[in-house]
Chain A
Amino acid sequence: MKNNSSFLTKNRGILIFFAVMLLAPFLIGLFEGSTPLMIWGNQGSLSKFIEGLGIEIFILALFALSFDLLFGITGLLSFGHAMFFAVAAYLTGIALKTLTMPFWGVVLLVLLAAIVQALLFSLVLPRVKGITFTLVSLGLASVFHIIVMSSDMINLTGADVGLQGVPVPAFISPVIERLRFYVIALTLLVVTYLFYRRFVASPTGRVCVAIRENEDRAKMLGYNTTIFKIVAMIISSLTASTAGMLHALYQPIISPAVADLAFTVTALLIVLIGGVGTLSGAIVGAFAFRLLDFSLRRFIGESASFITGAIYVIFVLFVPYGIVGTMRMRQLRTKQGWQQLLGMLKSKN
């Protein structure tokens, strides 16, 4: 019982987030004038729209979370992270459309492909370090991007138009059963986040943090750092692939843009907005990024990406710890201040 309650208090934030997000479509439906029952039956356009936005945010957050595990926790800056996402998305699409595989078979295939890709990267890992690793990962990912864009496989991938008309199984179809899709995406995000926190707190995760701080010292302590990097890579790849699969199921078109360097940069931007290495920053950042992007595109139009770029630069220059990181530091300072104050009062008494 005690153990259970400590789990609840430790993860209070994410659990509140889970509850609020579960209730959000119903509450927003009330504004629109539709009863919770109607929303349960997937009626009501506004709540459906909000659910759609929510699903996009959850997918981005999952992707950014996996990037944060590599970049923020383990200290590996990979510019090929979008490959994990894109391979999963395309594999899902092709397996469902061309190969007409059963859904659970597709899930297995995608997860298997994620592990294979992580192992492919880990072939490179022990040899190249730092910036060279970044370049190699960029190279590997751009090869995939080029293959997807090439007209040789237009029947499979749809080249630069994108993969269209993926038959989504009816029970999670985002058109008919959007609420279910929403809940599934949300649950996946929350479970992954909880798992990540557990992972970072575990001995393996601690070693990953040590690698980020000083790899040579971690090696000196007798850890085979490559294995830990590969573990982080596999977990990250699995998460990114899950996000990619959800993307393929949710979006009507899988565009080749998800294999681009720009998509990795999106993850980097989200993590940067939220706070590097904070995990919860990925979720906060995904919300901030998607909502900002959405409103900018709506109200300003074409030059939205210029403003996004400017925000990115401003964050790099002035808010290096991101929203969550800065808030944590503030909290710490406030806490210290209170303690000092209390100490002064006590000493006077």
Chain B
Amino acid sequence: MKTNLRKNSKAIIILVIIAAFLFVAARGMSGRDVLITVLRGFSTGSVTFLVAAGFSLIFGLLDVLNLAQGTLYMIGAYVGWTVYVRPDTFIDVLTPVLLILAGFSLSALWGRLASRIQLAPKARKIISWLLILAGFGLLALVLTSYPIAIWNLNNYSESPITYSYMADQGLRIIPAEVTFEKISPFLAILGLLVSSAISAFGIALLNRDESKSQAINWRRYLAPAILLLIGVLAAVFNAQITGWMFAMSTNWLFVIAILIAILSGVGLGSLMETTLIRPLYNRPIYQLMLTLGLGTIGVQIVQAVWGRPEFVWPKPEFFTGTGGACPATNLADLLEYNCSTVFLLGGRVRVYDEIFIPIVGIIVLIVVWILLKRSRIGMIIRAGVQDRQMVEALGINVRRVFTLVFALGVGLATFGGALAAPSTGLTPVMGERLLLSALIALAIGGLTSFPGAALGSLLVGLIQQFMIKYGQIGIPLPFTDAVFKPSPPLVPASTVLLMVIVLLILPGGLLGSKE
């Protein structure tokens, strides 16, 4: 214990200073204000933590600083919003995505087939590129004539901002259904499947050597079969599912939206890792630049699909009740009337923003912590963070773990986005702001340390919220009558200053390992 204290003496001193600062800061406020500010700090900290945790997992194991994390956070929010506000679009998009995935997920089979074909290297290259091009061409052809009920950015009454506004008012426009006109449903499904299979086969043919060793058993067919089944079912019962989702309570819709956001993050993450990051493992600086570029592209894509204006994600019913005994003073009232606010210490606290988000953050922290500490995969991840070569030498397929961790990290970021969006709203710049906070949190806590990410995020969240509070009430300067009111730009600046100070004293961060 004593050596432990001495080893972390600097970190402890810094923490004590921060605690003292917060204590002094809290002195001028009433207890109610302190409580609300601390809760808000926890809320901001939780969202930051979700992004920063993915960051630190990815950086720890893969040595990739994923600067696209902020953009992915934003994409998570937008995907969740779409599922919540426009379930019909979601169901329509679901089928093609699942069918394409099914085609590509048979890659083991394609690799096996491709390894049987004996061709001259040059001919193989040409044929595989031709196949890829043909596959994508066919895919584009089918997709353009595939009916998807989607908004129209140019027409105001059909633009997403209108849907957002109407949903916020509690109204629900049930848009007209789109039917198969240009193409028969059977042909469309077959076309999607065949085209993705062709291009997947082309890719397998192109890098034949890698896929040679993969053994085939029936489990490999399970995933594509399930994807195919769900995809076809979604296409066949499209109208019924859409109607069912529109009639569903918003609580369940919200849960589905969050789940889809996480799944899309996992999918995007594994796609990014396998196709773009993997070729660059021996060029670390380039990975960083690649993720930076992807982040920019992602923002542009979001702006192209959803437009620039700010959206509102209405909170689900469970958090919006106002009638009865609201604002609730005890738990029973809260659960009975689904109050949007509760009374705590004489102050109103918003349930979703200031209680629900921190709870989810803590749950995620515990779940990921258990996953890391108690499961076999977590053991491999921790071992990989410490010494990757050794893990490889022990015969563990680190590549697959890499993909898994990357997918998990991105999934956490999109989860954070979907979770935060109902309280912060959606803008195309939301990712940028959060990326900076997450980076600062990581640098404060220690880049590869998971508890460090949690601690750093909490500090960043608390400091931000206290600075915002001071912007409203002002800090009485000691020995003078003057009151200093920090302007809004000083909120991020204060966290940056904290980061610089911490890094100057402890270059590895508060809980990071010493290099």
The interface of chain A, by Cβ under 8 A from chain B, is 77, 123-124, 127-129, 131-132, 135-136, 138-140, 142-143, 146-147, 149-152, 262, 265, 268, 272, 303, 305-306, 308-310, 312-313, 316-317, 320
Contacts and interface: CB of A to CB of B under 8 A. Distances in A.
Contact of A306 (B301, B499, B500, B503): B301
A139 B301 contact: no
Given A135-B443, A272-B289, A303-B300, A127 B490 contact: no
A244 B508 CA distance: 33
Contact of B493 (A124, A143, A306): A143
Contact of B296 (A128, A131, A309): A309
13 contacts: A77-B285, A124-B503, A127-B503, A132-B507, A135-B439, A135-B440, A138-B436, A139-B496, A140-B496, A146-B492, A146-B493, A309-B297, A313-B276
A142 B496 CA distance: 8
B52 interface: no
Contacts of B507: 127-129, 132
A349 B283 CA distance: 46
B492 A136 contact: no
Nearest to A308: B296
A139 B447 contact: no
B489 A149 contact: yes
Nearest to B290: A316
Given A139-B500, A150-B489, A312 B293 contact: yes
Contacts of A308: 296
Contacts of B508: 132
Given A135-B499, A136-B499, A124 B504 contact: yes
Interface in B466-507: 487-490, 492-493, 496-497, 499-500, 503-504, 507
B290 A306 contact: no
Given A132-B443, A139-B499, A313 B436 contact: no
B279 interface: yes
Contacts of B300: 303, 305-306, 309
B474 to A, nearest CB: 14
Interface string B332-351: 00000000000000000000
Contacts of A146: 489-490, 492-493, 496
Given A147-B493, A303-B304, 16 more contacts: A77-B288, A124-B500, A128-B503, A129-B507, A131-B447, A132-B443, A135-B443, A135-B503, A136-B500, A138-B436, A139-B440, A143-B496, A306-B297, A306-B300, A306-B301, A309-B294
A1 B207 CA distance: 58
B500 A317 contact: no
A223 B290 CA distance: 33
Contacts of B288: 77
A306 B301 CA distance: 8
Counting chain B CB atoms within 10 Å of each CB, which of A139, A142, A152, A305 scores highest?
A139
B280 interface: yes
A313 B443 contact: no
Contacts of B497: 143
Nearest to B495: A139
B interface residue count range (under 10 / 10 to 19 / 20 to 34 / 35 or more): 35 or more
Contacts of B489: 146-147, 149-152
Interface string B288-317: 111011101100110010000000000000
B188 interface: no
A151 B304 CA distance: 31
B234 interface: no
B463 interface: no
A268 B285 CA distance: 11
B356 interface: no
B206 to A, nearest CB: 15
Contacts of A135: 439-440, 443, 499, 503
A140 B443 CA distance: 13
B203 interface: no
Contacts of B490: 146, 150
B297 A150 contact: no
B288 to A, nearest CB: 8
B257 interface: no
Interface centre among A142, A146, A150, A272 (most CB of B within 10 A): A146
B286 interface: yes
A123 B447 CA distance: 21
B262 interface: no
A310 B294 CA distance: 8
Given A132-B507, A136-B503, A150-B489, A142 B296 contact: no
A165 B358 CA distance: 48
A313 B496 contact: no
Contacts of A317: 276, 279-280, 290
A151 B489 CA distance: 8
A135 to B, nearest CB: 5
Contacts of B285: 77
Contacts of B293: 309, 312-313, 316
A128 B500 CA distance: 10
A151 B285 CA distance: 36
Contact of B487 (A127, A132, A150): A150
A265 B288 CA distance: 11
A131 B499 contact: no
B181 interface: no
B65 interface: yes
B296 A305 contact: yes
Interface string B362-395: 0000000000000000000000000000000000
A285 to B, nearest CB: 14
A181 to B, nearest CB: 32
Contacts of B503: 124, 127-128, 132, 135-136
Contacts of A265: 292, 296
Contacts of B292: 265, 268
Q: Which of B293, B443, B500 has the most CB of A within 10 A?
A: B293
Nearest to B287: A316
Contacts of A127: 503-504, 507
A77 B284 CA distance: 12
Contacts of A320: 283, 286
A123 B500 CA distance: 11
A316 B297 CA distance: 14
B515 interface: yes
Contacts of A138: 436, 439
A172 B294 CA distance: 41
Contacts of A152: 487, 489
Contacts of B515: 129
Q: Which 6 A-B pairs have the closest CB atoms?
A: A150-B489, A306-B300, A309-B297, A312-B293, A309-B296, A139-B496
A132 B492 contact: no
A10 B503 CA distance: 44
B189 to A, nearest CB: 31
A303 B447 CA distance: 35
B492 A131 contact: no
A170 to B, nearest CB: 36
Contacts of B290: 313, 316-317
Contacts of A149: 489
Contacts of B443: 132, 135-136, 139
